[in-house]
Amino acid sequence: MVQNGAKSKPLDKNVTLPNGIRVEYRTQSLLLTNGSRVPLKDGDMLSLNGEFIRKTVEVSPAPAPVVALIAAPVAAPAVAVAAAPAAFTYRPAAPVNGKLKGVVELGASGFNMFIIRIDTKRNWKLEKSEFGNSLVMENMATDEDIRNGLKTYISKMLDFGVAGRDIHFVVSSGASMADVTRRIVNSLEALKFKVNTVTPEREGVLGLQAAMPKGFTDKAFVVDMGSGNTKISWMDGSQPRTNSTYGAKYYEKGIDDAAVAADVKTKAGQVPAGVSKTCFIIGGVPYELAKAVRQGQEPYTTLLGPDSYPQLSGAKIKSGLNIYQAVASATGCSQFVFGYDTNFTIGYLLSLP
């Protein structure tokens, strides 16, 4: 039963709590974030904040097992079944007297805009971002779609205070595989803008530069899960290393999940053990995973395990979770941290003089 104050009704669907615990009404059990299952008995209670109270006194058999979900913690002592991942509390240094720079990412799944403020010490802060959908990879974006979308972003950046010479355009390695990309570049060059096309390796290095917080270069690695490809990057001494593998839209090409997982494991397995315990992960699917468990407006969210998102659906999510699972399996990484203010194109801005 679902109980809210004095009102109650039978539970007729699966429920996933904010901390990732899943209540399965058919099996009358809890699926924890670590993958284990806890059968429920008559009189057991679970609050929406994840506190579980096991009924310890024998009661007469009821017609059917009953589960009570209450809207607030109960006064009786409770035991937490599973805790949400530990918060990642790092906060970057704010820029001092920084300069505005803007970039538009022409990605496989959308045209995205980012404006940052950056100072002489390379400290930076995201001031504005917008994400738009497109059908570039599917070659269904028209010239007019492209032209209007780009002009809108240019106008918004100029209005925000970004100088024309500080507006940049970067074509992602995934988008560069689409036939329509040449038309995009031609449209921008006709407006006297320079367009930069990056390889997967370059994109991985830029993502590493943007997503890796200062002080973590010798203890973490970066995964940038794009639609067209996924980049796995780390620092090898003073040199960046990047391996590229399948992106989250591999399903559109009819590629088998097992083949993708095998390739991801091979590439991720090259991450040195010394930097494999923490991963800073970015990209469209990781954003959806982070958003599902975000507690407020924190700049970083620690993801649940790859098996802990049964409430999310869709082919792209499924494919992304397959990639996530393979990376976790190959590296043994215990902490995947998503940064909301990060994108490889910001790494491009950081690489400019």
pTM: 0.72
**Mean pLDDT, 10 residues at a time, over the chain (353 residues)?**
65 69 74 66 67 50 44 38 64 93 83 93 93 62 71 92 93 76 77 85 95 94 94 95 96 96 98 96 94 89 92 94 98 94 93 90
257 in the same domain as 148: no
Q: What are phi and psi of 147, to 5 degrees?
A: -60, -45
Find tokens 């709590």 and name the residue.
17
- By residue range, what is the domain housing residue 260? 203-348
Q: Provide the CATH number for the domain around residue 314.
A: 3.30.420.150
Distance between CA 351 and CA 24 in Å, rounded? Answer: 49
User: How much is the pLDDT for 112?
Assistant: 86
Last residue of a domain, one of 155, 174, 199: 199
User: How much is the pLDDT for 266?
Assistant: 98
Last residue of a domain, one of 47, 80, 113: 80
As given in the structure block, the two tokens for residue 70 are 């209450």
User: How much is the pLDDT for 59?
Assistant: 41
Distance between CA 21 and CA 81 in Å, rounded? Answer: 8
270 in the same domain as 228: yes
User: How much is the pLDDT for 107?
Assistant: 76
Last residue of a domain, one of 80, 108, 141: 80
With residue 144 as reference, give the H or E element that holds it: helix 143-160
115 in the same domain as 181: yes
User: How much is the pLDDT for 136?
Assistant: 56
> String of b and e for 14-43 (b: at least 16 CB within 10 Å)?
ebbbebbbbbbeeebbbbbbeeeebebeeb
User: How much is the pLDDT for 68?
Assistant: 45
In sequence order, the 6+-apart residues with CB closer than 8 A to the CB of 287 are 338, 340
- Is position 168 within any domain? yes
- Give me the number of domains the chain comprises: 3
Dump pLDDT digits (tens) for 67-85: 444 444 433 333 333 345 6
Q: What are phi and psi of 9, to 5 degrees?
A: -155, 155
Antiparallel, parallel or unpaired: β 68-70 and 45-47: parallel
- Is position 91 within any domain? no
- Is position 114 within any domain? yes
- Is position 165 within any domain? yes
**3-class secondary structure, 257:** helix
Please return the burial class of 269, using the count of CB atoms within 10 Å of its CB with bins 0-12, 13-18 and 19+.
middle
